[in-house]
Chain A
């Protein structure tokens, strides 16, 4: 085989006392699609950032076509390595052509903005990819799948020979994934190499020729995609046999729903949603990124107001204008992004737990609150020396337990959780699921919004599938398997 276009050797990286990467090596040849597989927290993101020169490495080398790279993002870009992050990092206010030409203009040190040549470059690049998008459109008006194509085009326009893509199919429907596959096939023939970063089995086998598995900052296995199957991949990523079994539970007693919606609609986001959830039941709402699942969940918590339709809570029609009203009614909401929406990172663990149960005004009983926070820490087995350190000192799984503790202090009747185990290690994930099952047992209604189908199957009694703003399917968890669920989640939307 020819010399590799990308060769990484002996990469070490630590943040303070925490080792993130240890002796990581990886090669990539022209025309190869390699998958960098690993759980959240395995060091994938750090490795990409080291490759692209954004984060300095402690030891090791990154070579592109034999040339060693310095720690400088511009050097990586000039050498032909482009990273497409999950959010694509496009400029929404600029046009397609300006976005595509941007990297190249920066790399070439262009002093002037040349509309004509930008446009020509964009047209040529899009033609090379076989994509038809109007180059004069502002990027913010485009659907997600097109934005991703623009991000690829931007890399190509700068003569990228290596394209790193972070979880590229998170927001794509089945036909969009097919289209992406076609484009990648064509570019492989041109000798472009791809590095896919992912933890999703379907995505990995759909695209990749070779696989490198990263666990706890080390390469644990690598080889051709044909040497792996889903079981082995799962085992290598997590270090244990994957739990695909449903968690044991007693049959849910049939009860009148605690919350029901009828014809709930928010224009352009979700429409005509009828759902119901009963006490002692875990319902999973699954859908792709951008399917409207998060917005629907936020509407049930009073964070977004629906345009039409009604929410019935405990038998009466309610309109929650702000989260406080939903909270007072007995609803809790664990947000999607723990770091920005869930936690007060610099603040003590105790305050992070007490914050939702503070009284409206007046003097608070600080020692009482601290006592309750301490008990919650013990009950949920949060690993910390005390409640005074800032919550930023905890691991992902323990941070999520702090958010759960916060809401359990209020004894909610309906708990909505958006992505409850994102970025949580596999052991904590299991324990968080058990906490939720305990809640179910005590009669709490639990709504889990997730794109982790395994989680939905393991955890829930009922699964609702959301595609482009509509509930398109409803299953009891034991009548469907992961494959069929995946098909139904990535299905094309019915015409609106």
Chain B
């Protein structure tokens, strides 16, 4: 039998080298790249979609997907915005309320998948529309503005002038996610469940509880992203970040997360987020138009996936061998 080689670690290292190479190249070819202003702006740009990518990660590790993360982020930011605007006595409730909104949305996703056994892609496609719809009805369309100055201030703060607060939030969530996936019983179960749901049933893994926990986690992280977006944009809109959804999936695939479940690391996602941000900034510096961004992202994704399949050698052979043996 030809066993599949596990190339996850080498792949993650490769991704790190790629990010570093882009960084070094830009340092040489774009004189202003290393300026504090630029680093600061990059550091406050990527946390919001980085957070969304982290929210998607556990769902993908269980072999599912959560298409509703962006909609949850927007709904949570609208809830927070309404409370912030309602007056100082409600303002303290804004953050807990947004997090609760994310939790509720995530639990709903989890229940649809766990109890009705809807495929995750369909369940969350449905809730994507649902949450977006609720957001539109609440706002009536236009964005909610007029937030208290103290709230939006933190979106642009930098500690010591170079560590933007959103970046700190992202770092904390990333470390938390890394610990969760690696050291918690639930994280281990999620990975094994993603690798083989049927075998998981035979070792007493409670599928429903696990699925609900995972999608609830995704919902909460999405709502944190919503709070960051609210602070940065200084307003809440029902259709903010429409292009983020595909970007966030792209990040996870680039991070080496298997769309079939069972494989994926937080480090991979962090590196993928940074790589894409570097490419996107780099294109600006090298005077490409914004329109070329998708071209580069798409090309990179295809190239990396192809290289990976080739590097893993006879992966296809092995998969067919296994599937035949199962008949």
For B322, list chain A residues within 8 Å (CB).
Answer: 339, 345, 392
A364 partner, pick from B184, B195, B198, B327, beta carbons under 8 A: B184
- Docked Cα-Cα span, A335 to B200, in Å, equals 12
CB–CB A323/B4 < 8 A = no
Q: Mark A313-351, 1 if CB is under 8 A from B, else 0.
A: 000000000111011000001010101111111110001
For A109, list chain B residues within 8 Å (CB).
Answer: none
B206 partner, pick from A18, A324, A362, A406, beta carbons under 8 A: A324
CB–CB B314/A347 < 8 A = no
A61-80 contacts to B (CB < 8 Å): none
- Docked Cα-Cα span, A453 to B258, in Å, equals 42
CB–CB A322/B204 < 8 A = yes
A356-375 contacts to B (CB < 8 Å): 356, 358-364, 366
Most buried by A among B199, B205, B322: B199
Given the interface pairs A15-B321, A344-B195, the reply to whether A363 lies near B184 with Cβ below 8 Å is yes
CB–CB A364/B183 < 8 A = yes
B196 partner, pick from A333, A345, A359, A366, beta carbons under 8 A: A345
CB–CB B1/A15 < 8 A = yes
CB–CB B184/A87 < 8 A = no
CB–CB A351/B3 < 8 A = no
Q: Is A228 an interface residue (CB 8 A)?
A: no
**For residue A366, which residue of chain B has the nearest CB?**
B183
CB–CB A323/B192 < 8 A = no
Expressed in whole angstroms, the minimum distance between the Cβ of B217 and any Cβ of chain A is 13
Say whether chain B's binding surface is mostly helix, strand, loop, or mixed.
helix
B201-232 contacts to A (CB < 8 Å): 201-206
For B314, list chain A residues within 8 Å (CB).
Answer: 16
CB–CB A392/B196 < 8 A = no
**For residue B193, which residue of chain A has the nearest CB?**
A344
**For residue B208, which residue of chain A has the nearest CB?**
A322
**For residue B182, which residue of chain A has the nearest CB?**
A366
**For residue B260, which residue of chain A has the nearest CB?**
A346
CB–CB B202/A351 < 8 A = no
For A341, list chain B residues within 8 Å (CB).
Answer: 198-199, 202
CB–CB B202/A335 < 8 A = yes
- Docked Cα-Cα span, A359 to B186, in Å, equals 9
CB–CB B6/A362 < 8 A = no
- Docked Cα-Cα span, A86 to B4, in Å, equals 27
CB–CB A356/B203 < 8 A = yes
B307-322 contacts to A (CB < 8 Å): 314, 317-318, 321-322
B229-247 contacts to A (CB < 8 Å): none
Q: Classify chain B's interface size.
A: 35 or more
CB–CB B1/A344 < 8 A = no
Given the interface pairs A339-B325, A344-B195, the reply to whether A323 lies near B184 with Cβ below 8 Å is no
CB–CB B185/A340 < 8 A = no
CB–CB B262/A346 < 8 A = yes
For B200, list chain A residues within 8 Å (CB).
Answer: 344
Given the interface pairs A339-B326, A358-B185, A390-B6, the reply to whether A347 lies near B202 with Cβ below 8 Å is no
CB–CB A356/B204 < 8 A = yes
Most buried by B among A54, A87, A326, A358: A358
Expressed in whole angstroms, the minimum distance between the Cβ of B1 and any Cβ of chain A is 6
For B188, list chain A residues within 8 Å (CB).
Answer: 351, 354-355, 358, 364
CB–CB A347/B204 < 8 A = no
Most buried by B among A89, A327, A344: A344
Q: Mark B241-274, 1 if CB is under 8 A from A, else 0.
A: 0000000000000000000001100000000000
Q: Is A49 an interface residue (CB 8 A)?
A: yes
CB–CB B4/A392 < 8 A = yes
**For residue A89, which residue of chain B has the nearest CB?**
B327
Q: Is B189 an interface residue (CB 8 A)?
A: yes
- Docked Cα-Cα span, A91 to B189, in Å, equals 35
CB–CB A362/B201 < 8 A = no
Most buried by B among A17, A85, A364: A364
**For residue B261, which residue of chain A has the nearest CB?**
A346
For A18, list chain B residues within 8 Å (CB).
Answer: 1-2
Expressed in whole angstroms, the minimum distance between the Cβ of A20 and any Cβ of chain B is 9
A85 partner, pick from B201, B206, B327, beta carbons under 8 A: B327
Expressed in whole angstroms, the minimum distance between the Cβ of A127 and any Cβ of chain B is 31
For A406, list chain B residues within 8 Å (CB).
Answer: 203
CB–CB B204/A323 < 8 A = yes
A383-426 contacts to B (CB < 8 Å): 389-390, 392-393, 395, 406
CB–CB A393/B3 < 8 A = yes
For A361, list chain B residues within 8 Å (CB).
Answer: 184-186
For B326, list chain A residues within 8 Å (CB).
Answer: 337, 339-340
A390 partner, pick from B4, B184, B199, beta carbons under 8 A: B4
For B206, list chain A residues within 8 Å (CB).
Answer: 322, 324
The contact sample of 27 A-B pairs, CB cut-off 8 A, is: A15-B2, A15-B317, A16-B314, A54-B324, A303-B201, A322-B204, A324-B206, A335-B199, A337-B326, A340-B198, A341-B199, A342-B202, A344-B196, A345-B322, A346-B6, A346-B195, A347-B192, A351-B192, A354-B188, A355-B203, A356-B204, A359-B185, A361-B184, A366-B182, A390-B3, A390-B4, A392-B1
Q: Which A residues form the contact surface with B (CB < 8 A)?
A: 15-18, 49, 54, 85-87, 89, 303, 322-324, 326-327, 333, 335, 337, 339-347, 351, 354-356, 358-364, 366, 389-390, 392-393, 395, 406
Q: Which B residues form the contact surface with A (CB < 8 A)?
A: 1-4, 6, 182-186, 188-189, 191-192, 195-196, 198-206, 262-263, 314, 317-318, 321-322, 324-327
9 nearest CB pairs, A to B:
A16-B2, A324-B204, A393-B3, A344-B195, A15-B2, A323-B204, A327-B204, A356-B203, A358-B185
